[in-house]
Structure 1
Amino acid sequence: MSEPRSVLLDIKDGVAELTLNQPERRNALDPAMRAQLADTIVAVRRDRNVRVVILTGSQGHFCAGGDLRALASAGLDNEGWLQRFQDMNDWVRDLISLDRPVVAAVDGMATGAGLSLALTADFVLATPRARFSASFLRVGLVPDCGCLYTLPRVVGVQRAKELMLSAREFGADEAQLLGIVTEIAVADALLARARAIARSFVQASPAAVSMIKRNLAPQGGELAALLDAEAQAQAMAMSTPGHRLAVNRLLEKQAPPYNWPAGT
């Protein structure tokens, strides 16, 4: 009997629905899920019958970021981490620059790389119980999965610095005020609303949609350059004592060494 897939793909009537499917880990990204995301996004990108993409998570969470146990046990050196993040950047770049609309449906946690993944979408729908955080600094890391590119372009540089350096958690209402969340829907209606938005794009001119997205896309290799810089910075951060200490404390269910504000 085959193991359940970490990423589910359902394509119907021009809508591709991608579901992160490791609910027992709050859909945290481990190597298997990253590899399946890469394959799935390549398949969607190549399928010209796909007119719009829905990105969501199973059973009450979107994505809780990177899988800390998988990170702690990876045993990679700086070059190994750099290669891993450069490989990941291939599908991150493909998703950000996709010439078709992407709708993220966010319930529960969207933290760390989960926030980054939501930010690749053109429309972010969230439930009132959704929780967001650029939580990387809590484990001694820098933002990845394109967050250094996307977040400041959505909320502005000054607010992006505050969210990244505080690593604080915030809810759907604040995320909507910041421009991260497009619309808030109750949990039972979240996917139905995402699907309704997606179906509207099936009827839109694919050429016009593509040209709108392409003309709003980064020019002159800006995205590629920033993703490469992000990968190099994260590879170095992975090798620091601060990262190892923070991960070990979290895995042992102790308070991380960094909290915002101090003393909390």
Structure 2
Amino acid sequence: MKLKDTLYEVRDRVATITLNRPHRANSWNGRMHTEYRYLLQQADQDPDVGAIIVTGAGKFFCVGADTNILSEFTESGEYSSGTGPDLVMPGSDEIPTFLHEYVYHFALSKPVIAAMPGPAAGVGFVLACYTDIRFAVPGAKLTTAHGPLNLPAECGLSWLLPRLIGSARATELLLSSRKFLTDEAYQLGLVHRLVEPEALMDEAQAYARDLITRNSPESLRQTKRQIYLDWHRDVGTATREAGDLLQTMVGQPDYKEAISAYLEKRTARWSGQK
């Protein structure tokens, strides 16, 4: 696919997807959505990629849907995603409930880190919430944005945000659609790390490299799967599956490598073989 509204780079086994419409504050449109899903799939299927970073060009992450598109909805009276027939569904199809708009992040086998260089609103805020780990610059504005536009909470955010920061805090943010800063988001636990703008990408990439160096690919894949599946399951089911996974994974080559690396006090050389 020829990229127009995104950029893609792989370095040191970390793939970086950049939302690249800085002249429109990286606002979301059908083309960007199509490219983003395609690139997620490419990164998830690439054996030379261990983790994925999502960021925005310039001083914005993503300020939501392009206002030109919102105006079109006024004229037509209908919502349209603006995507075409080449739209892919990233991630494994093992769990059907994950195969929905933005929920597909949960079906990916690799951790996704948001590196937010500036504001995120509307669908941009949704996108950040669906990543696994969030880094952001201090003082950037965030908002769900939907209330003043006579829209509902978007894309499962009413389900997701309470699970990330708790029901009471999420209810207030969702009902008010108020603007708040990344500093408050950090206090709420929504943002994991605040980083000055000049160091944001270096710190996110260093974190991603450390993540995939210390942890085996299969451990990352299964742990991510467990986290999001267990939001739906009782503790007994979660515990039983953890036991089954334990029996399977101690027989894999990377378990033997992990023990050898620990005893020899060296960095493990992960094969990713199951």
Name the SS of the counterpart of 2:207 in structure 1: helix
Name the SS of the counterpart of 1:36 in structure 2: helix
Match of 2:9 in 1: 10
Does 2:211 align with 1:212?
Answer: no
Q: Deviations over 1:33-86 (max 9, x none)?
A: 1111121122222223221000100001000011121132256565x64896xx
Asked whether the equivalents of residues 106 and 224 of structure 2 are also in contact (C-alpha less than 8 Å), the reply is no
- Which has more radius of gyration? 2
Q: Deviations over 1:101-158 (max 9, x none)?
A: 1111112211111111111122111111321111111111112244223211111122
**Deviation at 1:91?**
5.5
Does 2:105 align with 1:109?
Answer: no
% identical aligned pairs = 31
Q: 1:106 to 1:140 in 2, by over 3 A?
A: same
Asked whether the equivalents of residues 106 and 225 of structure 2 are also in contact (C-alpha less than 8 Å), the reply is no
**What's the TM-score, normalizing by structure 1?**
0.75
Alpha-carbon distance in structure 2 between the residues aligned to 1:39 and 1:121: 16
**Deviation at 1:210?**
1.1
Q: Deviations over 1:152-206 (max 9, x none)?
A: 1111122212101101011121101111100111110011100100111221211
**Deviation at 1:7?**
1.1
Asked whether the equivalents of residues 38 and 91 of structure 1 are also in contact (C-alpha less than 8 Å), the reply is no
Asked whether the equivalents of residues 37 and 91 of structure 1 are also in contact (C-alpha less than 8 Å), the reply is no
Structure 2 counterpart of 1:122, one-letter code: D
Higher relative contact order (CA 8 A, sep 6+): 1
**What's the TM-score, normalizing by structure 2?**
0.72
Alpha-carbon distance in structure 1 between the residues aligned to 2:223 and 2:58: 34
Asked whether the equivalents of residues 62 and 119 of structure 2 are also in contact (C-alpha less than 8 Å), the reply is yes
Q: 1:136 to 1:26 in 2, by over 3 A?
A: same
Where structure 1 has 5 or more consecutive residues not aligned to the other structure, the ranges are 223-264
RMSD: 2.5
Asked whether the equivalents of residues 101 and 155 of structure 2 are also in contact (C-alpha less than 8 Å), the reply is no
Which range is displaced more, 66-75 or 155-164?
Answer: 66-75
Q: 1:199 to 1:220 in 2, by over 3 A?
A: closer
Alpha-carbon distance in structure 2 between the residues aligned to 1:18 and 1:83: 20
Alpha-carbon distance in structure 1 between the residues aligned to 2:170 and 2:231: 23
Alpha-carbon distance in structure 1 between the residues aligned to 2:212 and 2:69: 38
